[in-house]
Amino acid sequence: MRSEGITRRDLLHRAIVLALGSLGGSGLARWLAAAGQKTVALAQTLFDRIMGLPPEITPTGDFYVVSKNPPGFDPVVDAQRWRLEIAGLVGRPASLTYDEIKALPSVLRPHTLECISNDVGGDLISNAMWRGARLQDVLTKADGVGAKAIQVAFRCADGYTESLPVAEALNPDTLLVYEMNGAPLPTKHGFPVRLLVPGHFGMKNPKWITKIEAVDHDFLGYWERSGWSQQALVKTMSRFTTPGGGHMMYKVGEDVGLGGMAYAGDRGIKAVEVSADDGKTWQPAQIKAPLGKYTWVLWAAVWKPTAPGDYTLRVRAQDGTGTLQAREEVATLPDGASGYHRIRIRVST
């Protein structure tokens, strides 16, 4: 999102363009092309230098998994026998096969999921390429949602339940996905279909869906009944992925590569900053262009310590609206953790 009106950056950009007008059309074009190539090259060089950044697309085997079920008790669904029931306040009840859902117009989209129980600096966040049908197209197979419906509820093969307001269910970007990173959904990620909804923590993206029901009342899902947020809106987060592990000791004057990811759900990320003095001062990091409007971004920076000692480094992000990530440290329950991720580094002579 972008705020209305002309920002200082807009004014500066326009001033530069006017000043360069004297170069002439072809000269200006060549200058802008060269400047753009230089900027891209510098950014690419920095991201190439930083070791320990995550891949932009998480390999399926490394994608985080959270389930209410004990290990080994997730449902295993037979796609040939499975049917998706659409019921409640719809034009007419319907039952769709796996092949019928796959026959609907498909959407291929990169999308990040984060668990609401992800701690500050935690790794319960991943990014994948998903393919599926628009939920609104699926509901059209039941002649749409009735005027009296206020929520769309989801029931799953393991007894899990969840819901969305009708407006969000009918958002063209809310998908019923059946493919992950170019292959059918693995069992642990919800085969045959799961929900993918922008802006919400993973709990609002149920797996192993068997029934969709339009209802005229406030429907509390499985985790909401246990005290978790019903909205479960993603908070702006950022974290270090490097340095990490055992390599936390450096020398004065040595380049220290810093990097990680930042995420703000459907708001996007506008900027990332790092601090080497426990949040007293901040310096901008470079951010890599996101793969899509619902994905994390990678960020990178280089810090050169000038004196020996123990340092606390922090990272923070601004979402696409310009709102700064919350500094106050809160626990995950009920609506997700907040706070600045920090790491400690020792510098010697």
Looking at residue 175, what is its pLDDT?
Answer: 99
CATH 3.40.50.450 for domain 64-226, yes or no, is no
Nearest to 113 by CA among 32, 191, 175, 39: 175
Q: Which CATH class is domain 237-348?
A: mainly beta
Looking at residue 15, what is its pLDDT?
Answer: 38
Looking at residue 245, what is its pLDDT?
Answer: 77
- For residues 145 and 137, the answer to whether their CB atoms sit within 8 Å is no
Type of residue at 91: G
Low-confidence residues of the chain: pLDDT under 50: 1-39
Looking at residue 62, what is its pLDDT?
Answer: 98
Enter the pTM of the model.
0.87
Looking at residue 44, what is its pLDDT?
Answer: 65
Looking at residue 33, what is its pLDDT?
Answer: 46
Token pair belonging to 293: 């409007």
Quick: pLDDT tens for 122-136. Answer: 999 999 999 999 999
DSSP 182-214: TEEPPGGGTTT-EEE-TTB-GGGS-SSEEEEEE
Looking at residue 32, what is its pLDDT?
Answer: 33
For CATH 2.60.40.650, the residue range(s) in the chain are 237-348
10 Å CB burial of residue 58 (0-12, 13-18, 19+) is: buried
Residue with tokens 């190539």: 37
The CA–CA distances, whole Å, from 204 to 129, 199, 224, 280, 288 equal 18, 10, 10, 37, 27
Token pair belonging to 199: 């802006």
